[in-house]
A and B are shown apart, each in its own frame.
Chain A
Amino acid sequence: MRRRKSLWLGAIASIAALGLAACGGSSTTPTPTTAGFNAASTAVVNSSTHVGGTITYNDTTWPDSLDAGNTYYAHMWNFTRLYASPLMTYASCVGTCGLKLIPALATAPGVPSNGDKTWTYTIKSGMKFSDGTPITSADVKYAVMRTFAKDVLVNGPSYFISLLAGNAATYKGPYKMKGVDLTSIQTPNSTTVVFQLNKPFADFNYIAAIPQTAPVPQSKDTGASYQLHFVSSGPYMLQSATLNKQWVLVKNPNWNPAMDPAVHQYAAKIIVNVNPNANDIDNRLIAGDINMDIAGTGVQSAARARILTNASLKASSDDPITGFMFFIYQNTQVAPLTNVHCRMAIEFAANKTTLLDAFGGPYQGTTASTAMPPNIVGWQHFDLYNAASHPTGDITSAKQQLSLCGQPHGFTTGIAYRSDRPRDVAMAQALQAALAPVGIKLTLHGFPSGSYYSNFAGVPTYMKTHGLGLATGGWGADWPDAWGWFDQIANGNAIASAGNTNISMLNDPVVNDALAKMQAPGQSQAQLNVIAQQINMQVMKDAAIVPVVYAKALLYRSPALTNVMVQPYYGMYNYGTLGSK
């Protein structure tokens, strides 16, 4: 009998403990100092030049790469400025001011000539890498040359590959073609870099702002593993990097603040820890154990509910429009999605309400019905698939489209998503539930976000072999105009065999030609707006993507940080200006 009694006592104790834990909630959050809800979207919060302290970030996964020349996540383009100075950069200010380009490593914006086909940059003299060696134009040229090795450095856009003249069409990168010179870039002296393009490109300064132009010394380059011991040209340098666990940055003693006016050297140390549990990251952020969630896409559901129902927590948060969209890409090469009507069936049947709920509701975005966000110049509203009139899905039209594509009883296909991003998981499941009533069966396939684009969703052969017709994803414009938004996701010429961002495998001549036309010289803004709308409309007519939200992000502003501002180009906090109290 004694054994029984202790069993019952144990049972009662554990029920009680469960109940207490459930009611425990947020009793241990410290009271933060506040500047008001959304303050960092319109002003710099906790402005200070105080030097010292440590900033701790968390990341749910090791990034696609720490190497500035091999990464394509917006938060990494933001973060890499701490150790890699590109030719140009975005000004560190709020509002539309933050969308302007300013020179970083360059002395001034590039000088075009030859009808916008030649662009000349002068880099600042006397600048040094973190190991003391001088930064020369050859290092900028080499940084661009290595991006041609798409088999080694799979991530990142491929603008240089498609735009440069000379022998760019046959150049395969410095690892395969040792000793071969890329003739499209000339370095007449140690501070001048000249880019020769194969067609006019008015937006080239935007391309110069991509981290791929940050200098890399050829003698220290080791290809894909360079990320673990890179040489720095920014205010911080790498102290240690343990793959899939942590990387630590310390001050670069050879940093010259003139090199990049948009970033600062305030904190003494920056630590980034990998923490696979996104919800735990939010808990630690609110408790003050860490200072920032590096992904910058907003807190998860539980933290959102806590923040929005607690006045002091809400006053320490910001809800900017990020300029991103979250989509579900439809792979036009995977049967039966090869037929546009099957894709349109999915567009009609998608339940916009449950998709928005999965993404986090009104503080995380608004329902989208076009392929481009409203903040891009030239955007106009349209709604081809009845998102407004049928917010829970238009089953009737979906069934009609299924008959038109020859699959009246539906079909089966796979959906790829990032398993460490709770919003992706929820979106995939919401779409699965929404498509079930029309007979479309989705099988779920989760992948880690660090290798999502390099190994899975971004590898067309993988998607095709595994029957993955759909893939979740988010997208931000490479630069804030319609060309910078659409080129890498909708241009047939941008399809790559790994690190592919045109996941829909869209190759529509209407879209390709319109994109080319946008870069032709001498167009007025009104003409460009018309073309932007054409591209937007055509991508939706092709049903290449299922738009989910025009994203916002509910970000928690750690009270221990100084100089916190929302940088509108990155759509999240500016990691280049942060300091520690």
Chain B
Amino acid sequence: MTAPIEAPTDIAAPEIVLEGAGAKAIEGRSLGQIAWMRLRRDKVAMGGGVVIIALILIAIFGPFFVQNPTIYHPSLINPTLSTPNGTLGGISAAHPLGVEPSTGRDMLSRVVNGARISLLIAFLATALAVVIGVVMGVIAGYFGGWTDSVIARLMDIFLAFPLLVFAIALVGVMPSSAFGLSGNGLRIWLLIFIIGFFAWPYMGRIIRGQTLSLREREFVDAARSMGARGPYVLFRELLPNLWGPILVYATLLIPTNILFEAALSYLGVGIIPPQPTWGGMVSDAVTNGFYQIDPMFMIIPGFAIFLTVLAFNLFGDGLRDALDPRSR
């Protein structure tokens, strides 16, 4: 008998054939891939995601395809009553969503143009709030003690700040051109700063709470016992586990910021007319009382805001479910 000192070459290496997976080797799936698969299965969240993408596309490209939103059409309104002629706010082939009361401006183009500003301000203000809030919240929650006290008091101060008064004052003293910008360019950045800079405590408190509970967990102890220092623990251990709450509360913050911009418009410190914004249109409908005589003028931008809020909520919910390994 011969001893098998060489590997037999005439027997093929065993392969496991996976069904429907294209004959790949078994690999571990990453957290991101698991999350994506779970998300894909959640039809409602995907629906929300599709709407969000559609809104973003409309905001970016829509204004090129609709008519000029600043053109008045006095022949389309009744001058005595200021209401649009026709039913449902003057819906017609030329104006699929009707026209504005008193001015006759096309509603569809105003809504589409408004999407751009409303979403831009809401996104960037939320991003600012999230960045500041997460950094402050994580530092406060992780380091605790003296740092935590200081940051917590800072959050209290910001939350107690008379924001609307500050917004009016800041807009009032700001010259009409600064930092190389003027007009609406300057005003948009001012609004992003005001809204975002004062919304961070909302995010900060939540993240601080989450961090406080997370830092007691075993994997943090394990990392520390292996010699990991503060920044490593913060960025590689804690932050990945905070994505869930960050995303969910960010999606809840976005529509709040859209409505915040509307409040500032009502006080005369929002976007300068004639640039339309959804919040500004709802404000016009309410403060000028048009909702009483032409309800479509409020319903249309109101529905746009509602749809945006719903989409972000559904998507955010689904995202959280997908990312949190323990929820079903």
Q: Which residues of A contact B (CB under 8 A)?
A: 3-4, 7, 11, 14-15, 18-19, 22-23, 25-26, 277-279, 282-283, 300-306, 308-309, 351, 353-354, 356-358, 360-363, 392, 414, 419, 422, 425-426, 429-430, 432-434, 436, 443-444, 446, 466-467
Partner of A301, one of B74, B288, B310: B288
Which of B23-31, B123-131, B268-276 is found at the contact surface with chain A?
B268-276
Nearest residue (CB) in A for B73 is A354
Complex CA–CA separation, A18 to B286 (angstroms):
13
Given A304-B81, A429-B103, A444-B273, A357 contacting B287 (CB threshold 8 A): no
Tell me which residues across on chain B come within 8 A of A392, comparing CB atoms.
74
Q: Does B82 contact A (CB under 8 A)?
A: yes
The answer to whether A300 touches B289, judged by C-beta atoms less than 8 angstroms apart, is yes
Nearest residue (CB) in A for B318 is A4
Tell me which residues across on chain B come within 8 A of A22, comparing CB atoms.
291, 295, 298-299
The answer to whether B176 touches A422, judged by C-beta atoms less than 8 angstroms apart, is no
Interfacial residues of chain B within 56-99, with CB under 8 A of chain A in the complex: 70-72, 74, 77, 79-83
Complex CA–CA separation, A388 to B288 (angstroms):
29
Given A308-B81, A429-B103, A302 contacting B299 (CB threshold 8 A): no
Complex CA–CA separation, A309 to B294 (angstroms):
14
A-B contact pairs, 26 of them (CB 8 A): A25-B292, A26-B292, A277-B287, A279-B286, A282-B289, A300-B288, A300-B289, A301-B82, A302-B293, A304-B80, A304-B82, A305-B82, A305-B292, A306-B292, A308-B80, A309-B81, A354-B74, A357-B74, A392-B74, A414-B176, A426-B102, A426-B103, A432-B273, A433-B274, A444-B273, A466-B176
Complex CA–CA separation, A278 to B74 (angstroms):
24
Q: Does B306 contact A (CB under 8 A)?
A: yes
Partner of B289, one of A283, A432, A443: A283
Interface centre among A279, A283, A302 (most CB of B within 10 A): A302
Q: Does B317 contact A (CB under 8 A)?
A: yes
The answer to whether A305 touches B72, judged by C-beta atoms less than 8 angstroms apart, is no
Partner of A444, one of B272, B286, B295: B272
Nearest residue (CB) in B for A445 is B176
Tell me which residues across on chain B come within 8 A of A357, comparing CB atoms.
74, 77, 79, 82, 102-103
Partner of A353, one of B74, B80, B101, B306: B74
Complex CA–CA separation, A466 to B101 (angstroms):
32
Q: Does B277 contact A (CB under 8 A)?
A: no
Interfacial residues of chain B within 280-328, with CB under 8 A of chain A in the complex: 286-293, 295, 298-299, 302, 306, 310, 313-314, 317
The answer to whether B289 touches A358, judged by C-beta atoms less than 8 angstroms apart, is no
Complex CA–CA separation, A537 to B31 (angstroms):
81
What is the predominant secondary structure among interface residues of chain A facing chain B? helix
Tell me which residues across on chain B come within 8 A of A433, comparing CB atoms.
70-72, 103, 274
The answer to whether A422 touches B103, judged by C-beta atoms less than 8 angstroms apart, is no
Partner of A361, one of B81, B183, B290: B81
Complex CA–CA separation, A423 to B261 (angstroms):
23
Tell me which residues across on chain A come within 8 A of B81, comparing CB atoms.
301, 304-305, 308-309, 361
Tell me which residues across on chain B come within 8 A of A14, comparing CB atoms.
306
Distance to closest chain A CB from B35 (angstroms): 19
Partner of A443, one of B70, B103, B183, B314: B183
Q: Does B44 contact A (CB under 8 A)?
A: yes
Q: Which 10 A-B pairs have the closest CB atoms?
A: A302-B289, A22-B295, A279-B289, A361-B79, A305-B81, A305-B293, A301-B82, A419-B268, A302-B292, A353-B74
Complex CA–CA separation, A353 to B274 (angstroms):
18
Tell me which residues across on chain B come within 8 A of A356, comparing CB atoms.
79
The answer to whether B292 touches A354, judged by C-beta atoms less than 8 angstroms apart, is no
Distance to closest chain A CB from B106 (angstroms): 13
Partner of B272, one of A353, A354, A360, A443: A443
Complex CA–CA separation, A488 to B104 (angstroms):
37
The answer to whether B295 touches A361, judged by C-beta atoms less than 8 angstroms apart, is no
Tell me which residues across on chain A come within 8 A of B313, comparing CB atoms.
7
Complex CA–CA separation, A15 to B70 (angstroms):
29
Complex CA–CA separation, A14 to B305 (angstroms):
13
Tell me which residues across on chain A come within 8 A of B176, comparing CB atoms.
414, 443, 466-467
Tell me which residues across on chain B come within 8 A of A434, comparing CB atoms.
72
Q: A300-B288, A301-B290, A362-B79 are in contact. List 16 more A-B contacts (CB 8 A).
A: A4-B44, A22-B299, A279-B287, A301-B288, A301-B293, A304-B80, A305-B81, A305-B292, A306-B292, A351-B72, A354-B72, A357-B74, A357-B103, A419-B268, A429-B274, A433-B72
Given A7-B314, A301-B82, A466-B176, A422 contacting B288 (CB threshold 8 A): yes
Tell me which residues across on chain B come within 8 A of A279, comparing CB atoms.
286-289
The answer to whether B288 touches A354, judged by C-beta atoms less than 8 angstroms apart, is no
Complex CA–CA separation, A7 to B214 (angstroms):
29
Tell me which residues across on chain B come within 8 A of A11, comparing CB atoms.
306, 310
The answer to whether B295 touches A305, judged by C-beta atoms less than 8 angstroms apart, is no
Tell me which residues across on chain A come within 8 A of B103, comparing CB atoms.
354, 357-358, 426, 429-430, 433
Complex CA–CA separation, A282 to B290 (angstroms):
12
Q: Interface size class for chain B?
A: 35 or more
Given A357-B79, A360-B82, A363-B80, A306 contacting B72 (CB threshold 8 A): no
Complex CA–CA separation, A426 to B290 (angstroms):
13
Complex CA–CA separation, A357 to B102 (angstroms):
6
Distance to closest chain B CB from A3 (angstroms): 7
Complex CA–CA separation, A301 to B100 (angstroms):
13
Tell me which residues across on chain B come within 8 A of A308, comparing CB atoms.
80-81
The answer to whether A301 touches B80, judged by C-beta atoms less than 8 angstroms apart, is no
Given A25-B292, A357-B102, A432 contacting B274 (CB threshold 8 A): yes
Nearest residue (CB) in B for A362 is B80
Nearest residue (CB) in B for A26 is B292
Partner of B102, one of A7, A301, A419, A444: A301
Complex CA–CA separation, A249 to B313 (angstroms):
52
Tell me which residues across on chain B come within 8 A of A25, comparing CB atoms.
292
Distance to closest chain B CB from A106 (angstroms): 44
Tell me which residues across on chain A come within 8 A of B302, comparing CB atoms.
18
Tell me which residues across on chain A come within 8 A of B77, comparing CB atoms.
357
Tell me which residues across on chain A come within 8 A of B83, comparing CB atoms.
305
Complex CA–CA separation, A11 to B70 (angstroms):
32
Nearest residue (CB) in B for A279 is B289
Complex CA–CA separation, A354 to B70 (angstroms):
13
Complex CA–CA separation, A434 to B104 (angstroms):
13
Nearest residue (CB) in A for B297 is A22
Tell me which residues across on chain A come within 8 A of B314, comparing CB atoms.
7
Tell me which residues across on chain A come within 8 A of B292, comparing CB atoms.
25-26, 302, 305-306
The answer to whether B268 touches A446, judged by C-beta atoms less than 8 angstroms apart, is yes
The answer to whether B82 touches A436, judged by C-beta atoms less than 8 angstroms apart, is no
Complex CA–CA separation, A444 to B184 (angstroms):
10
Complex CA–CA separation, A3 to B318 (angstroms):
11
Interface centre among B183, B289, B299 (most CB of A within 10 A): B289
Distance to closest chain B CB from A354 (angstroms): 5
Tell me which residues across on chain B come within 8 A of A309, comparing CB atoms.
81
Complex CA–CA separation, A279 to B82 (angstroms):
14
Complex CA–CA separation, A23 to B71 (angstroms):
29
The answer to whether A301 touches B101, judged by C-beta atoms less than 8 angstroms apart, is yes
Distance to closest chain A CB from B87 (angstroms): 14
Interface centre among A15, A22, A446 (most CB of B within 10 A): A22
Distance to closest chain A CB from B305 (angstroms): 11
Nearest residue (CB) in A for B176 is A466
Nearest residue (CB) in B for A391 is B74
Nearest residue (CB) in B for A437 is B71
Distance to closest chain A CB from B59 (angstroms): 22
The answer to whether A306 touches B80, judged by C-beta atoms less than 8 angstroms apart, is no
Complex CA–CA separation, A22 to B293 (angstroms):
9
Tell me which residues across on chain A come within 8 A of B272, comparing CB atoms.
443-444
Tell me which residues across on chain A come within 8 A of B290, comparing CB atoms.
301-302
Interface centre among A301, A309, A446 (most CB of B within 10 A): A301
Nearest residue (CB) in A for B273 is A429
Complex CA–CA separation, A341 to B310 (angstroms):
54
Nearest residue (CB) in A for B286 is A279
Complex CA–CA separation, A80 to B286 (angstroms):
33
Complex CA–CA separation, A375 to B81 (angstroms):
26
